[in-house]
Amino acid sequence: MTALHTALLALSWFDYGMCEGGFGEEERSSVLPRDTLDWRGIFRRQLFLQVGDDSFGQNYLQNFKDNKVDTTFVGVTKEAATGVAPIVVDDAGENCIIIVAGANLKMTPGDVERAEAMIRGASVVVCQGEITPAATLTALRLARTHKVKTLMNAAPADASLDAAIIEHSDIFCVNESEAEVLTKLKVKTREDAEQAAEALLQRGSRSVIITLGGDGAVYSTAEGHAHTAAQKVTPVDTTGAGDAFVGALAYYLAYHPRLAMKEMLHRACQVATASVLAPGTQASYPTRDQLPSHLF
C-alpha cells in the first residue's frame, strides 16, 4: 500500500477513556497505556483536527504519535482549548456525553483545502460532526471531486445539519438517536430505522446506515434495506461503539473494497461489539491481535 488510505476528519477522539471518573493525567494514562494500538491504528490514517495549546492537546498529539497516526494536519491553536467530552456511563452501560468542541471549531475550509493532496490520495474520507460544518463540507466536496469515497458519521447529530453534507455522503451513518434528531421520526425498531433511512436517502445520501446498538445495523440504498445482526452481549460500556463501527467500516472500504457491503457490516458490527465489552472509548478498542484473524 502506498498512499494514505483513510483520511479521518475530526474527531470524537476527545473521548479519551475518561468515564472511569477521572480527568487527571494518571487516570488517563492508566486506561490508555502507551503501547495500546487502537484498532483503527492498523491502517494508515491521516488525522485532521485542531487541538488547543494545552496539556490535553499535548496528550492527544502524543497518543496519536504513539499509535502511529500521521499528525501532519493536526493544528495547534492558541485561540481555544482542546475539545473535551466528559462521559457518564450508567449501570446498563449506556452513555451520556457532553461535548466541549473547543479548538476543533477553529478549523476552516481553508485548512481543509490545504490538505487537498492528502484527500485526493485517500481511498476513503471519513467525516463526523465535531468540526465546523463548513470544514466538513469542504472535505466531502473535495473527496467527490477526486472520486474518493465519503463516509459521513453525523455524530453528534444536529437537527439543522446542512443538506449538502448529506448530498455529498456516499455512506451516511448515524445511530438511532441521531437518526431521530435528523428526521424527527421515532427510531426504536428495525422498521423505524428503515423509514428514517428512506428519509435520509431522499435528502440525497447514496446510502444510509443506521446502527441499532445490540440490534446491529440497517443498511439502505435506493434498492432496499438489509439488516445485519449483532452478537448478543452484556455491554460494560457502549461509549465509543459507534466510532469503533465507523473506523472498522472505513478499514474494510479502504483495504477490502471488493468485500460485499453485507460482509463489511457484519465484520464492523463484530468490532463494535468487542468495544462494548471493555470500559472507555479508545481504550476499549481491541487491538488487531485481540480480534479473530478472519476479520482482516
Ligand X SMILES: *[C@@H]1O[C@H](CO)[C@@H](O)[C@H](O)[C@H]1NC(C)=O
Which sequence positions are flagged as catalytic? 243
Measured from the CB atom, the residue of 177 and 189 that comes closer to ligand X is: 177
Q: Give me the count of residues in the chain.
A: 296
Of 126, 124, 216, which Cα lies nearest the Cα of 175?
216
Q: In whole angstroms, how close is the CB of 123 to ligand X at the nearest point?
A: 25
Q: Which residues are annotated as a binding site for K(+)?
A: 237, 239, 275, 278, 280, 284
Residue closer to ligand X by CB (options 63, 128) is 128
- Binding site, by residue number, is 130, 175, 211-216, 237, 239, 242-243, 275, 278, 280, 284
Q: At closest approach, how far in Å is the CB of 155 from ligand X?
A: 4
Q: Which residue has the cell 479521518?
A: 8
Which residue in 272, 274, 268, 239 sits closest to 254, CA to CA?
268
Q: Which of 262, 277, 270, 278 is nearest to 296 (CA)?
A: 270
CB of 12 to ligand X, least distance (A): 8
The nearer residue to ligand X, 156 or 279, going by C-beta atoms, is 156
Report the alpha-carbon distance of residue 257 to residue 250 in Å, rounded: 10
Q: Which is nearer to ligand X, 31 or 97 (CB)?
A: 97
Q: How far is the CB of 236 from ligand X (least distance, A)?
A: 14
Do residues 9 and 118 lie in contact, with contact meaning Cβ atoms separated by under 8 Å? no
Q: How far is the CB of 274 from ligand X (least distance, A)?
A: 16
Return d(Cα 158, Cα 252) in angstroms, integer: 27
For residue 191, what are the contacts with CB-CB under 8 A and spacing of at least 6?
A: none
Q: Which of 111, 110, 60, 50 is nearest to 80 (CA)?
A: 50
**Rule CB under 6 A: which residues touch ligand X?**
95, 97, 155-157, 175-178, 213, 238, 242
Sign of CA dihedral 163, 212, 272, 208: negative
With respect to ligand X, which residue has the nearer C-beta, 102 or 213?
Answer: 213
d(CA 279, CA 282): 9
Could you tell me which residues are annotated as the binding site for ATP?
A: 175, 211-216, 242-243
